[in-house]
């Protein structure tokens, strides 16, 4: 081990395996060891010990697991079988990269990233059963399903803006163009509207010259849009345009719609690989470590929190309030507070609070240091500002907790001479260009989305589990929203960093 790694590993037998049975071991790549009775690897190759539905936890439906991909491959989607796709038998086209770059490392098609990797896990009962059998890796394989010469691909960006949309468009186009030689690529304008009504939302031809520099600006060159989904109409459009590969970039709603589109195509036996790239500035996509744009949002939010801190510290009893994105999950507010380390209170949707407890903490903090900074997620405290209304897409219209908090604190502090400074940077954050590290992450997601599509998968989404990109059936990802757990180490670190009282944390101390 020391010779391969260059460092000593004193208790190697106790460490988790990272990669088992990779197709090749190249310099700088992960390596594997074999130890008796070790079954905690991040990635395993099950090709020599195939399992049908055996080994499932009691009560787990084999159709609701991440490894059930036979319904999600265009060569097996009409069967009623479950389990892993035998890609070695079905994918007969040689990946053009294998011919051009014979020394490249390619995945075994049945490499699995294990979802549950912690031994003696204190949170084992709460882990997602869908991940228990692992997830198929979403990278390049030596053999693929689609002949690149016969591929016409389309990219659609749905929902609201998010940093990184142009990066995804750029890298999907670049991967198709350079790695597979696919040059028939179109961008769909206005979200699903452009697929339901292409006469009004005219598709845009994409090539390397069009996308070369688009990642340097925010937004989407394809004009992301909401609504417009109509599965039968979209299938008609795909067939008419000859599109057999569609990349859907959007959140859980977009991916839920993509699953319905996959079902309609499956019913018609319209062979099209539909692969989603999950987008959420709130980082609330189920199962995956994080979504693209999230790191950029946290970085931008941290800078704005510093502005609120400057205002608060430059005033007698000043309170800086920053409202951040997070309709149903408080990841942006929590991580921005951790990154800035100058926040005294974080309010997130997952933790119900009372106004008396908020004002008490304001008084205690001002008494101690004469200023205060608050980060509040837009979905927090909706019990104070609920509108009872829904928009045209069925989403709840949230009340403005930021202005409510501002007005309540101003009224509370007026007798003592204090005041608040309120900043709402939401549209500034979502429209800003992607940060460098986030762009690199977009590159990984986009390329692995292309590799996954070329392998013949459909009705799936790609994303990271333990920082390895995997393939997940889209209906699993669209089944709900990921939320901050008050028992997570991140939230508990945030509580301690901000020195918040238990009444504002969801971790109330037991009394009596």
Which of the residues are catalytic? 282
Which letter, b or e, does each residue of 334-343 get, where b requires 16 or more Cβ atoms within 10 Å of its Cβ?
A: bbbbbbbebb
Q: Which two tokens stand for residue 257?
A: 């719609």
Mind giving me the DSSP string for 177-244?
A: IIIH----EEEETTTTHHHH-TTTS--EE--HHHHTTGGGSSS-TT--B-----HHHHHHHHHHHT--
Q: How far apart are CA 335 and CA 177, in angstroms?
A: 36
Give just the sign of the alpha carbon dihedral 43, 47, 53, 55: negative
- Give CA–CA dist 97/106, Å, rounded: 10
Q: For residue 154, what are the β-bridge partners?
A: 186, 246
DSSP classification of residue 487: T
d(CA 195, CA 228) in angstroms, rounded, equals: 8
Total residues found in the chain within this entry: 512
Which structure tokens are listed for 231?
Answer: 């599965």
> DSSP assignment of 259-274, as one string?
HHHHHHHHHHT---EE
CA-CA distance, 403 to 423, in Å (whole number)? 9
What is the β-pairing status of strands 468-473 and 204-205? unpaired
In three-state secondary structure terms, 297 is helix
Measured in degrees and rounded to the nearest 5, phi and psi for residue 34 equal: -120, 125
Q: Are 345 and 366 in contact (CB under 8 A)?
A: no
């Amino acid at each position: 081990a020391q010779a391969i790694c260059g460092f000593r590993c004193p208790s190697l037998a106790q460490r988790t395996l990272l990669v088992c049975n990779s197709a090749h071991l190249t310099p700088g790549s992960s390596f594997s060891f074999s130890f008796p009775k070790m079954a905690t690897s991040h990635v395993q190759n099950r090709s020599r010990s195939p399992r049908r539905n055996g080994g499932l936890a009691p009560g787990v439906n084999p159709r609701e697991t991440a490894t059930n991909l036979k319904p999600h491959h265009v060569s097996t989607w009409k069967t009623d079988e479950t389990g892993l796709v035998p890609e070695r038998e079905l994918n007969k086209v040689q990946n053009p990269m294998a011919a051009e770059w014979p020394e490249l490392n390619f995945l075994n098609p049945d490499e699995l990233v294990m979802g549950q990797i912690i031994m003696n896990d204190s949170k084992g009962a709460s882990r997602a059963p869908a991940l228990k059998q692992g997830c198929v890796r979403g990278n390049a394989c030596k053999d693929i399903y689609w002949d690149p010469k016969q591929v016409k691909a389309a990219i659609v960006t749905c929902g609201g803006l998010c940093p990184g949309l142009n990066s995804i468009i750029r890298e999907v186009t670049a991967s198709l163009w350079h790695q597979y030689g696919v040059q028939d690529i179109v961008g769909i304008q206005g979200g699903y509207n452009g697929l339901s009504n292409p006469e009004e939302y005219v598709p845009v031809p994409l090539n390397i010259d069009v996308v070369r520099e688009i990642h340097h600006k925010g937004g989407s060159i394809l004009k992301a849009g909401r609504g417009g989904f109509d599965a039968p109409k979209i299938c008609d459009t795909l067939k008419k345009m000859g599109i057999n590969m569609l990349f859907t970039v959007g959140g859980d709603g977009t991916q839920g719609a993509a699953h319905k589109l996959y079902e309609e195509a499956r019913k018609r036996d319209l062979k099209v690989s539909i692969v989603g790239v999950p987008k959420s500035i709130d980082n609330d996509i189920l199962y995956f470590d994080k979504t693209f744009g999230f790191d950029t949002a946290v970085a931008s939010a941290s800078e704005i929190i510093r502005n609120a801190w400057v205002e608060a510290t430059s005033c007698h009893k000043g309170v800086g309030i920053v409202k951040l994105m997070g309709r149903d999950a408080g990841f942006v507010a929590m991580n921005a507070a951790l990154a800035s380390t100058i926040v005294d209170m974080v309010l997130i949707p997952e933790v119900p609070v009372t106004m008396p407890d908020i004002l008490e903490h304001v008084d205690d903090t001002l008494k101690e240091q004469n200023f205060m900074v608050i980060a509040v997620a837009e979905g927090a405290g909706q019990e104070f500002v609920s509108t009872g209304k829904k928009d045209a897409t069925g989403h709840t219209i949230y009340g403005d907790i930021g202005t409510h908090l501002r007005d309540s604190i101003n009224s509370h502090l007026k007798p003592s001479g204090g005041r608040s400074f309120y900043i709402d940077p939401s549209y500034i954050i979502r429209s800003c260009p992607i940060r460098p590290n986030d762009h690199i992450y977009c590159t990984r997601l986009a390329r692995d989305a292309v590799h996954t599509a070329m392998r013949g998968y459909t009705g799936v989404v790609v994303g990271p589990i333990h920082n390895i990109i995997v393939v997940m059936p889209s209906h699993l990802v669209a089944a709900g929203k990921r939320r901050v757990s008050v028992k997570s180490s991140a939230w508990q670190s945030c509580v301690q960093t901000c020195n918040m009282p238990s009444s504002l944390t969801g971790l109330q101390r037991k009394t009596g």
